[in-house]
Amino acid sequence: MTAETNRQFLLAKRPVGAATRDTFTFQQVPVAKPGKGQIVVKNQYLSLDPAMRGWMNEGKSYIAPVGLGEVMRALGVGQVIASEHPGFAVGDYVNGALGVQDYFVGEPRGFYKVDPKLAPLPVYLSALGMTGMTAYFALLEVGAPKAGDTVVISGAAGAVGSIAGQIAKLKGCRVVGIAGGEHKCKLLIEELGFDGAIDYKSEDVIAGLKRECPKGVDVFFDNVGGDILDAVLSRLNFKARVVICGAISQYNNKEAVKGPANYLSLLVNRARMEGFVVMDYADRYTGAGQEMAGWLAKGQLKSKEHIVEGLETFPETLMKLFSGENFGKLILKV
């Protein structure tokens, strides 16, 4: 290895409301040499996810928060350039928690190898990565759609929603996406094969649900929370399933999270609302990845990536998730 500089974004403080550039400390340090059992990865692409905002908060969650002064956590793909680990060789491409930096140095806990000859590296952060696994298991295991069901997806033009909707179509469902803006709604129908779309920015969501889901909603895959969750709860069918995959509308709240006022619809319709965390299905990723890869190869599933170049743009690029600027999976090219 030659001496290289590692640019890093560290968590400087726990934000109240939106994370901004001053939430992080930017530093440049020499790349360390690997110790026993460690590897050095030259990061190529980093996954930007709404969950990153939650990782900045203190308090109990499904994963420990990022510590103050630590490199901001991010999943990514890159190439091993030095190794003191028997399971990884120089030249291997890996997927893992690389962090918002140029180089990862450490033990490859939870890392796995990927093959850029089988799929472009960004796809291993979208359809063939945690995004795809989230869509697959949240929809099929928690939502449990049946052919003929009406499935509604919020955040439908985002990374997870766009894949979940396509999987629901593959399973024979009527799929309606809720997204922000005419352009996104058009792409859902014309490019991804959704049956209908509701533009929450320009129309009343309840009116849109009555138009697009005249027979009610059997499965609601929620990535947004807040008012949209409330609106869909009012249209549930008997024994409907509501999947709480995320609540991006609430992550930057300075006040308490807004809970659903229409929750009694769950009682009346004997419906179920269940939270989802993808790590609960880790032992089944391989099989799901193989099925997803098959759908991609056959053209039955499209993986949409929104790639922004430049590690230095990280704070502003992350905020695209919360302003709704991205279509598909938001990825930072290091």
In a domain, 298, yes or no: no
Residue 256 has pLDDT above 80, yes or no: no
Residue with tokens 């991006």: 248
Distance from C-alpha of 251 to C-alpha of 50, rounded to nearest angstrom:
8
**Domain containing residue 97:** 5-126+304-333
The number of beta carbons lying within 10 Å of the beta carbon of residue 62 is 11
Least confident piece of the model among 188-197, 230-239, 243-252, 284-293:
243-252
| pLDDT range class, residue 3, cuts 50, 70, 90 | low
Q: Specify whether the CB–CB gap between 208 and 154 falls below 8 A.
A: no
**Percent of the chain predicted with pLDDT > 70:** 99
Is residue 136 located within the same domain as residue 155? Answer: yes
66-93 mean pLDDT: 97
Q: Is residue 329 part of a domain?
A: yes
Out of 46-60, 93-107, 268-282, pick the least confident: 46-60
262: amino acid identity, one letter: N
Helix (H, G, I), strand (E, B) or coil at 177: strand
3-state SS, residue 140: helix
| DSSP codes of every residue in 185-248 | HHHHHHTT--SEEEETTTS-HHHHHHHH-TT-EEEEEESS-HHHHHHHHTTEEEEEEEEE---T
Does 294 fall in a domain? no
- DSSP-derived secondary structure for 276-327: --GGGGGGGHHHHHHHHHHHHHTTSS---EEEEE-GGGHHHHHHHHHHT--S
The structure tokens listed for 310 are 């430049």
The average pLDDT across 311-330 equals 91
Give the separation between CA 31 and CA 104, rounded to whole angstroms.
Answer: 9
Position 1 confidence tier, pLDDT thresholds 50, 70, 90: very low
Q: For the residues 38-54, what does the mean pLDDT come to?
A: 95
**Do 181 and 312 share a structural domain?**
no
Model confidence over 123-159: pLDDT tens digits? Answer: 999 999 999 999 999 999 999 999 999 999 999 999 9
**What local confidence, expressed as pLDDT, does residue 328 receive?**
86
CATH of the domain at 248: 3.40.50.720
- The fraction of the chain above a pLDDT of 90, given in percent, is 86
If asked whether residues 134 and 253 sit together in one domain, one would say yes
Residues 99 and 138 in one domain: no
Say yes or no: 135 and 152 in one domain: yes
Closest CA relative to residue 101, chosen from 45, 34, 148, 53:
45
Instruction: Report the C-alpha gap between 89 and 96 in whole angstroms.
Output: 15
pLDDT per residue over 167-199, tens digit each? 999 999 999 999 999 999 999 999 999 999 999
Number of structural domains found in the chain: 2
Q: Is the CB of residue 170 less than 8 Å from the CB of residue 135?
A: no
Q: 271: Cβ–Cβ under 8 A, 6 or more apart, which residues?
A: 236, 237, 238, 239, 240, 241, 242, 265
Residue 20 lies in a domain: yes
What is the Cα–Cα distance from 261 to 251, expressed in whole angstroms?
Answer: 18
Are residues 156 and 260 located together in one domain of the fold?
yes
Which domain CATH number covers 57?
3.90.180.10
pLDDT of 24 higher than 80: yes
Dihedral (Cα; 9, 324, 126, 230), 10-degree rounding: 120
**32, part of any domain:** yes
Residues 79 and 23 in one domain: yes
Query: How much is the pLDDT for 259?
Result: 84
Residue 325, in any domain of the structure: yes
What is the pLDDT, as a whole number, of residue 148?
A: 98
Nearest to 155 by CA among 179, 183, 134, 184: 179
SS3 94: strand
- Asked if residue 140 and residue 100 are part of one domain, the reply reads no
Evaluate if residue 89 carries a pLDDT over 80. yes
> In the beta sheet, which residues pair with residue 42?
79, 103
Q: Across residues 224-249, what is the average pLDDT? A: 95
CB atoms within 10 A of CB 211: 12
Residue 216 has pLDDT above 90, yes or no: yes
Q: Are residues 170 and 99 in the same domain?
A: no
Write down how long the chain is.
334
* 108 and 147, same domain (yes or no): no
The helix (H) or strand (E) run that includes residue 159 is helix 159-170
CA distance 18 to 193: 33
pLDDT at res. 17: 87
Q: Do 151 and 111 share a structural domain?
A: no
Under a CB-based contact definition with an 8 Å cutoff, are residues 74 and 111 in contact? Answer: no
Co-location of 22 and 118 in the same domain: yes
Task: State residue 316 phi and psi, 5-degree precision.
Answer: -70, -40
Indicate the average pLDDT of the chain.
Answer: 94
Residue 217 lies in a domain: yes
Is the confidence at residue 224, as pLDDT, over 50? yes
Is 22 inside any structural domain? yes
